[in-house]
Structures are given as C-alpha cells and as structure tokens.
Amino acid sequence: MTRGGLAGVSTDFKPLVDPIVVATEADWNDAWYLVCMKVSTIGFVVVDARERVAALDELHAAGIVDLSGYLDDHPVMAARLRHGMVILDVNEAAVRMFGAVTRADMIGQRTQRFFDPLCTAQINSARAFAAGATSFQQQAHSVRLDGSRFETLFCVVPRADGATSGLWLASFVDITEHVQRQAALNTLRDELAHVSRVSTLGELSASIAHEIGQPLSSIGMTAGAMLRLLDREELNRDLLRRQCQRIVDQVARAGDIIDRTRRMAAKRDGQQAPVSIADVLNESMQFVQHDLNRTNIKFSIMCGDHFTTVLADRIQLQQVFVNLLMNAIQIHRQAQTRMPEITVEAFSQDDFITVHVIDNGPGLADDSVGRLFDSFFTTRAEGLGLGLGICRTIVAAHGGSIKASSRIDATGARFSVCLPLHRA
C-alpha cells in the first residue's frame, strides 16, 4: 500500500499495457463518429479512460463511500484520477481550439495537459461517474499547447459500450467570449447598483443629516454643561465623568451613522457571507427612520426567527429593502394616505425565506404591475425607474426572486422578496 492510501487502493500511476487502438473504419464507422469527428465545429476528443475506471473500481472495492472527502484527504489519488485519461483521437476543431498543428500533436497525451492545474472539472467528473452519472459537464479552465488559458464548456460521456471498452467521448466548446461578456455585464450591473445606492442616499440626505444632528446637538449641550461645571469653585468629578462618557457615547453614535452611510455609498465588489435577515431589515429601517417619523407612518417588523440567515452581500440586501421602504414612504406621501402603515413580515418555509414589504396605500394599477421591474419604468414624476430593476437584479444574483402585487385583503401593495436560506 502506498503512503496515504487504504488497503487495496493503490495511488501509483500504472499505465495500462495494451492501448486501445482507434481504427476509424473498424471501431468508429458509425454516424455519430462521422458527425462528431469529421463535421462538427465543437472540439471532440476520444479518450481511453481505463486507468481512471480501474482506479474508481479500486476505491469502490475498498468500500470508499465518501469519494469527495477521500480525495480531499488523499491528493495523490486525486492526481491519479486526473492522470488516468489518454487522448486517442481528436477532430480538427479540437486541433484548432488547443493550438495544435496536427492531430498527432494531441494524440497520446494525457487530458490533464489541457486543463489548468487548479481546474476542478476532471475531479468533479470522476465524482459524478462514481455516483452513477451517465454524463458530466462543467465550465473549465483550459490550456492551449502554447500555455495560454481560455474558458470552455467541458462535457464527457462514455460510449454505449464504454464500461467494457473504456472509450469515452469528451467535448469542448470555447466560451471565452461569453464569459468575458458576462463579466462585463456583471461589472455594469455593479456600477448601476452603486449609482442607485448613491442616488438613494441623496434622497435620504435629510434623514441622514437629522440622524447626525441629534448626537451633535447632544454633544454641544453636554459640552456647554461641562463648561459651566468647570466655572464652579468646587468640581464635581463624578458628574464631569458622566458628562464625558455621554459625549463619548454620542460621538460613537454619530460615527456609526457615518460608517453606515459610507458603506452604502462605497464602490465595492460583492462580498457574500452569512447574514441575519432580521439584522439587515433593522439596519435598513434605520436609514429611513426619520422619513417614517416625518410622514407619521406606523411601522412594524415581524420576523419569525431572528437567527435565520442567508448567504448574501449585506450592503446589497440593505439596498433592496431601503429601496422598497422608500418607495412605500413616497407612495404614502404622494397619496396622502389618511393612516399610513408599512409592515415588514419575514418567515421561512422549506429552504427559503420570504420577506413581505406591505403598505396600505392606493395599491398598484393593473396595467403597471407587469412593468414595475422594467428599467426606466416609473409611476413617480421625479423617479428614474432604476430602483426596482436593480432590486430584481440583486435578488436574482442571490438566487432569489422578487414580485409585486396588490393586496387582496385590503388596499395597498405587497412586494415579496424570496431568498434561499443558508444552512451552516
């Protein structure tokens, strides 16, 4: 037994003695071979996978059930699986894709030569087939013969008789341009989200100024009281100490407000981490607290479980809920709702958490419900029509959904955000 292995499982690289010979006329004279190898513009590679199959059989015979865990603990076996596929034939599309001159430049090489060392596609395919899959595909980081990198969609499937012949067929589609376009689109989305956040902060400037003004006013009053105490002949040190502590507390409060605003305004990459939905909702409410008070809105938050978490970018989620709350506040202000209310309800069901933002305003017009999340569509004269569209983009990027509807039980609107739960 080699070091790091189990009894009956060898991690040595043992090439099979008898190579499979691919004779076009004898073994592959059928329609699928002609289409794949002679006609298609997709890069096709015929592979001898017997070494890999033998290694997987050894692991199965040794009683290895958790292959993923075993490979994580035994990198030499993982290397053996990556090493265990030999190229038997390629089509002209693969020759061009990988920068070869002729088919002979690739035939006989190990497939791992054409994958980035950090690419997980080969190991993940081994895991999939060990679990009973009949095919596998994944985006892969591929390597040309000159060492340059590019992105591919890698697919692999055994032939119908692959279990006995060891013949597998792999395909590669160059998706580099698609990946680059997607990256550019993501960058544009982040830029637009940042612009929307800054715009929202502009709308909240009066609220933020009021929030900062309160601790500053308290600091000024406390400092004035301390000056008067210092004019006395007899100093009350305990009272002065309490006054100093009050100033320290108010400075910290003002600092928290500034820090919260700075984080919202900052241009940053998305950073996903487990976050509490209850915390995000409370933080979002703090941004609009002054507007809620000024509009005399009755506000309530109901969270079924304060420990419910989602895997998300905290600031982006705040952006979603601040936007929904600001919309509800502005609707009440515009409609001059007699007894305005906004209710936020959060509850989890199965593997998702749903957050409702509900108001008792005039509700949604039937002809606008389907267009609310379209870019540049707005029902407000001063609106840009970007906020809800960006909310939908952010929620979708977190694997969730957002929808709007009029309330059935009363007048008003309901915006529902559904997000997948994070399981620790």
pLDDT digits (tens, 9 = 90+) for 97-126: 999 999 999 999 999 999 999 999 999 998
- 50 φ, ψ to 5°? -65, -35
Question: pLDDT tens, 56-68?
Answer: 888 888 888 888 8
Looking at the domain assignment, is residue 30 inside a domain?
yes
Say if residue 198 is in the same domain as residue 216: yes
Lowest-confidence region among 215-224, 342-351, 414-423: 215-224
Say if residue 211 is in the same domain as residue 170: no
Looking at the domain assignment, is residue 209 inside a domain?
yes
What is the reported pLDDT for 5?
A: 47
Sheet containing strand 341-349, strands side by side = 298-303, 341-349, 352-359, 413-420, 401-406
123, 150, 174 - which closes a domain: 174
d(CA 145, CA 128): 28
Looking at the domain assignment, is residue 311 inside a domain?
yes
Looking at the domain assignment, is residue 10 inside a domain?
no
Q: What torsion, rounded to 10 degrees, do the Cα atoms 377, 382, 384, 387 define?
A: -90
More confident: 275 or 224: 275
More confident: 96 or 206: 96
Say if residue 119 is in the same domain as residue 257: no
Looking at the domain assignment, is residue 115 inside a domain?
yes
The winner for highest mean pLDDT among 246-255, 362-371, 373-382 is 246-255
Say if residue 233 is in the same domain as residue 291: no
More confident: 50 or 165: 50
CATH number at residue 99: 3.30.450.20
Lowest-confidence region among 89-93, 156-160, 262-266: 262-266
Length of the chain measured in residues: 424
Distance, first Cα to last Cα, the chain: 37
Give the tokens for residue 318.
């705040």
Looking at the domain assignment, is residue 16 inside a domain?
no
399: left (phi over 0), alpha (psi -120 to 50) or beta: left
- Parallel, antiparallel or unpaired: strands 413-420 and 352-359: antiparallel
Lowest-confidence region among 28-42, 77-91, 244-258, 340-354: 28-42
Lowest-confidence region among 47-51, 75-79, 143-147, 200-204: 200-204
Say if residue 44 is in the same domain as residue 152: yes
Say if residue 43 is in the same domain as residue 146: yes
More confident: 210 or 99: 99
CATH number at residue 295: 3.30.565.10
d(CA 376, CA 381): 12
Say if residue 116 is in the same domain as residue 240: no
More confident: 207 or 361: 361
Is the pLDDT confidence value at 405 over 70? yes
d(CA 194, CA 198): 6
Q: By residue range, what is the domain housing residue 264?
A: 181-269
25 falls in which pLDDT band (50, 70, 90)?
A: very low
What is the reported pLDDT for 387?
A: 72
Say if residue 265 is in the same domain as residue 400: no
Looking at the domain assignment, is residue 8 inside a domain?
no
Say if residue 274 is in the same domain as residue 263: no
Is the pLDDT confidence value at 34 over 60? yes
Say if residue 112 is in the same domain as residue 89: yes
Residue type (1 letter), 254:
A
The chain-wide mean pLDDT, for the chain, equals 80
Say if residue 35 is in the same domain as residue 166: yes
Is the pLDDT confidence value at 386 over 80? no
129, 154, 174 - which closes a domain: 174
Q: Are 122 and 141 in contact (CB under 8 A)?
A: no
Is the pLDDT confidence value at 3 over 70? no
Question: pLDDT tens, 166-204?
Answer: 788 899 999 999 998 888 777 766 676 666 667 666 666
CATH number at residue 214: 1.10.287
Looking at the domain assignment, is residue 313 inside a domain?
yes
87 falls in which pLDDT band (50, 70, 90)?
A: very high
Say if residue 137 is in the same domain as residue 50: yes
More confident: 48 or 186: 48
212, 237, 269 - which closes a domain: 269
Q: How many domains does the chain have?
A: 3
